[in-house]
Chains A and B, each alone.
Chain A
Amino acid sequence: MSEMTTLAPPEVPTWRMYRAMVGIGLLCGLLIVSVFQLTTPIIAKNRAEALQKAVFEVLPGAASSKTFVREGDRFVPLPDGASDSPGVGEERVYAGYDQGGALVGVAIEAEGMGYADVIKVLYGYGFDQSAIVGLKVLESKETPGLGDKIEKDPAFRENFQALDVSLDGSGKAASHPIEVVPHGTKTSPWQIDAITGATISSKAIGGLLGKSTAYWMPILAPRRGDFEESR
């Protein structure tokens, strides 16, 4: 190659290029596959632990949890060995039980549009209280310092210790839809006290909870037994 002084490209047989690229490609593929095999179980374990931690956070007092899948208007435990991520159209909820094995409540995932991007939350529903008993923001890209207070602001988080979502007499609709009110004017248990300076993000949380509870409560509230029996 040092003798090549012409401007024309040096004569490299095509098969040498193929050999180089296919060879490197195979090696790289092998490397990726082995790392994938090694890390997949650890990643799955991390995911499951993160979800479990979130479930315990939104269901105060819970010490163990179990995943349920909705089948029509009833709930069945997730079969062992099922995939970690829900399939298309599959709806999952997570029941939490206390030390004694009594049902604490059910954790439900919900999402809705925030100020910057989709906000994903997990909230806990307590059957005894007919209320939301805890909320954790799983994913949000709200403005740091303003909108992201929905994740940490203690006064705002207090809203979700007992947010009334009870159903009216018909069992089809909420007796009082969730309302977001300006900071400091909360008077009823179905109202959310907004954060000053983060009104849009606060309303987004109220909106997505309202939508999710309107969907879930009529199905979930009468099926308490599904979660207790399978214990």
Chain B
Amino acid sequence: MTTAGSQSDPRTTDEFIKGLWRDNPVFVQVLGMCPVLAVTNTARNALAMGLATMFVLVMSNIVVSSIRNFIPKQVRIATFILVIATFVTIVDYVIQAISLDLHKALGAFISLIVVNCVILGRAEAFASKNKIVPSALDGLGMGLGFTFALLCLGVVRELLGSGAIFGVHVFPDRYQDWVIMILPSGGFFTLGAWLLVFNAIKKRKANAAGTAKEAA
């Protein structure tokens, strides 16, 4: 797959693009499923969770990348977790300061960003081996990809489950809400449907390109 970008440094652009699409953490890597299923019952919650995760991802990638030569191999995971936990705590306070309602809606899942495997995964697999700028872009791309995936679920679930998007009603009052969509099981249905869509798109692209490379 080629990146359409015509930037001077195609590799840097690629670090950014890959998280959005080719290696999307949710739809391709299927990582971090817990918040994906749990807090996407409205578009607003999904967006907030995605942005919070993105912030932690970018910051921890930057810090991990900048201290990568200072950390002995034996204690690297412990150090990464410490860095990630710090930024999650910061996000927790900042969200409380922005909106208590939002903090209540996201509940325990803010603290649980610590154990989101996307973040530790990127720190270990990318940031600990690369320079700061590519690491920041990698975090930004992965974070945006994660946010995009959460929004995909959140919009569909809120639309069908409450007849609204971002709290704005779009369906007539006669519309009977599909309550199941805002319950946990609705998360699984929506995720399944989106995986179907994304895999179909990927397959068609692979066929059209006629490449021998199979699409995992």
Contact = CB atoms under 8 A, between A and B. Distances in A.
Interface of B: 41, 67, 70-75, 78-79, 82-83, 85-86, 89-90, 93-94, 96-97, 99-100, 104, 161, 177, 179, 182-183
15 contacts: A17-B75, A20-B70, A20-B75, A20-B79, A21-B79, A24-B71, A24-B83, A28-B85, A32-B89, A36-B93, A39-B93, A42-B97, A47-B100, A143-B183, A144-B182
A12 B74 CA distance: 9
| Interface size class, chain A | 20 to 34
A47 B79 CA distance: 34
A144 B89 contact: no
B72 A17 contact: yes
Nearest to B179: A145
A31 B177 contact: no
A150 B96 CA distance: 26
Contact of A35 (B82, B85, B90, B99): B90
Contacts of B183: 143-144
A29 to B, nearest CB: 8
Interface in A1-40: 9-10, 12, 16-17, 20-21, 23-25, 28, 31-32, 35-36, 39-40
Contacts of B75: 17, 20-21
A16 to B, nearest CB: 5
B71 A20 contact: yes
Q: For the complex, would chain A's binding face be called helix, strand, loop or mixed by DSSP majority?
A: helix
B187 to A, nearest CB: 13
Contacts of B94: 35, 39
B73 A12 contact: yes
Contacts of A139: 104
B82 A24 contact: yes
B93 A35 contact: yes
Contacts of A47: 100
A39 B98 CA distance: 9
Contacts of A185: none
B110 to A, nearest CB: 14
Contacts of B93: 35-36, 39-40, 43
Contacts of B99: 46
